[in-house]
Amino acid sequence: MRTERNKDSSWNVWLSRSEYEVLPREAKTFEQEVAIRLMGDCGLRVQEVLDVKPKHVSRMSDGTHFELKVVGGKDTTGEYTGGKYRETWLPRDVEATINRYIQQTGIDDEERLVPKAKRTVQYWVEQTAEKAAEETGDDDYRRISTHDLRRCWANHLLVEQNVSPRIVMALGGWSSYDAIEPYLAAPTEQNIIESMRTALQ
């Protein structure tokens, strides 16, 4: 895990996928796990998590994969008054988790999956990060914020999976390459080790 201190004394935390996966496992409730996975596995902003309803989940045209409609997303262009709409990739295991949660709670298509305040979801992440720090002995977990989960998702796709930046921009709702360039330029520790080991052989 890498951390960077910002000028305002906040932190940017760069998590590997294995480091991220500790967080949903430490979630106290099913609802908390769903919220964390929507950010860390689907790239949603914390505010976008609060708008997700069962009706926003759909099967893609191949009949095998799933997508999630993101309504009211952040608009960085100033063109949309009611928020920007997009569709993002919904991993099958996350769809299965959401489906189990819906079955367990009886939420209908028009109800929000996470009917909470933004600060509540932020607190959940802080809470699970605290538990992850205790579980792993890595105090850097205590610096994690909700935005670090979205950062982890983008960095994983761009750097570890070599997904096209244009696809990541579309999935994550970024309107300019400049917005995702920092994620593309930040290699993970494992990338550095593998690249340098190959280069020096």
In the chain the domains, ranked by start, together with CATH numbers, are 16-199 (1.10.443.10)
Residue 81 pLDDT = 43
**What are the tens digits of pLDDT across the range 127-152?**
999 999 999 999 999 999 999 999 99
Average pLDDT, the chain: 89
pTM assigned to the model: 0.87
Residue 80 pLDDT = 43
Distances in whole angstroms, Cα of residue 148 to Cα of each of 17, 44, 65, 87? 12, 11, 26, 21
Phi, psi at 6, each rounded to 5°: -90, 165
Single out the residue of 31, 26, 41 nearest to residue 152, CA to CA.
41
Considering only residues 201 and 110, tell me which one the structure prediction assigns the higher pLDDT. 110
Considering only residues 197 and 121, tell me which one the structure prediction assigns the higher pLDDT. 121
Phi, psi at 116, each rounded to 5°: -130, 175
- Assign 198 a pLDDT band (cuts: 50, 70, 90): confident
Total residue length of the chain: 201
